[in-house]
Amino acid sequence: MSYAVGDVGTLAEIQEWARSNKVDTTTIELMNQTNDILDHVPFRESNTYKGHETRLRTGLPEIYFRQLYRGTPISKSQYSRVVEGIGILEGRMELDVLEKQLYQSSFGAYRLSEGKAFMEALRQKAATLFFYGDHAKLADEFDGFATRYCDLNNPHVIDASEFTYGSNNEDEANEDGETGLTSMYLVAWGPDSAHGIFPKDSVGGLKHTDLGTYTTTDNEGRKLEVIADLWSWSLGLCVRDWRSVVRICNIKTKYLANTLTGTLANATSESSKVSSTREDGWINLKDLTIIAKSKIPAGMRNRAVWYCNPQVLAGLEIQSSDTKNVHLHYGEYFGVQNVPAIHSRPVFECECITNNEERVTAGGSYPEKNSQQ
């Protein structure tokens, strides 16, 4: 492997890290994110080495009336075959063996600290793939929820623009150059609805391999010995029943901010609170979540979980914090206390859900890819 600046830990970095630990300072993980989805996904071993193959029933057999001395016509159901892909994520770290000899007392702790950073990077990448993975754009990726639910012709894709008061549908980039559009996702996890997958005949989850010491080359082709670690995670997403997911798209974060400002700064009474929040682009998240929940089949609703980014979560909590509101409460879900729940469905935060989504429109078909009759 040849090196570029910043790819490997340098002597100066390890020395600085060692100095920090002598004065009892720790690394503040500013790059860490909250992506609760990774704690909820149920994983299953795939049934083929190339991915996970599943059959979806698309039609029921015909049923006939039986008559005396007359036979019953033969009928059968119809189905589609869907193959879900698996992505392989890897991260590799190499450190010069000389660094271990020079900083024996601190080297192990530094190596462990770097390992935590690699694990967090893998978690963020995996969480992003569950929402935004797109096999058509990058063959190594699997399709995420946003890629699968990307058309308003799909009855499980709801346009938040239709529930935004006093606004137009013209998209304006924010000061960071983002579209300012985001989504909420309602997912009913389960073995027959939506779940994660890992390769056949393997063990699921994030893996670490100590590669030990080996010889590599620098940028000029000169050999050196390094100590290496490898972190890997092979995973995919299988949506067996498309009805188990609902996406509320085209949520303008600009108007979420306006809603929060109007509620906190301008409201002096209960009546003025309602009018102020509805003036400029108030987004009716309450009605949106009710409609989305109702689209999930009754047998799956008790498993449904909401995912949104921090801005949407704040807007949802403030809109639902009215003393007369009986739809929001806080409880314990997945072993976590004080989780907000709207209509008895917990709402979890995923920072990987961006404010830079493309506007979802009606155009084309939405059925699952790679299906065969």
158-189 pLDDT, tens digit each: 999 888 876 555 666 555 666 789 999 999 99
Residue 358 CA to chain centroid, in angstroms?
16
Please give the helix or strand (H or E) that residue 245 lies within, else none.
strand 245-252
Give first-to-last CA distance, the chain, whole Å.
Answer: 47
The residue ranking higher by pLDDT, 136 or 260, is 136
Confirm if 43 and 198 have CB atoms less than 8 A apart. yes
Tell which wins on pLDDT, 234 or 100: 234
| pLDDT tier at 371, thresholds 50, 70, 90 | very low
Cβ–Cβ < 8 Å for 88, 140: yes
Mean pLDDT of 310-337: 78
Tell me the per-residue pLDDT of 182-223, one tens digit each, with 9 for 90 and over.
999 999 999 999 999 999 998 888 899 999 999 998 888 899
How far is Cα 29 from Cα 47, in angstroms, rounded to an integer?
Answer: 38
DSSP state of 223: E
The residue ranking higher by pLDDT, 292 or 106, is 292
Model confidence over 219-276: pLDDT tens digits? 888 998 999 999 999 999 999 999 999 999 999 988 876 544 444 334 344 443 443 4
Q: Domain coordinates of the chain in residue numbers? A: 11-57+78-349
Spatial CA neighbour of 312 closest among 244, 243, 248? 248
- Tokens 């709801």 belong to residue: 158
Question: What is the DSSP secondary structure assignment for residue 7, as one 8-state letter?
Answer: S
Q: What average pLDDT does the segment 22-46 reach?
A: 73
- % residues pLDDT > 90 (the chain): 40
Selected residue with higher pLDDT from 222 and 370: 222
Give the whole-angstrom CA distance, residue 345 versus residue 333.
Answer: 10
Instruction: Please identify which residue in the block is written with the tokens 């709402």.
Output: 347
| Per-residue pLDDT at 18 exceeds 80 | no
The CB density around residue 309, as the number of other CB atoms within 10 Å, is: 21
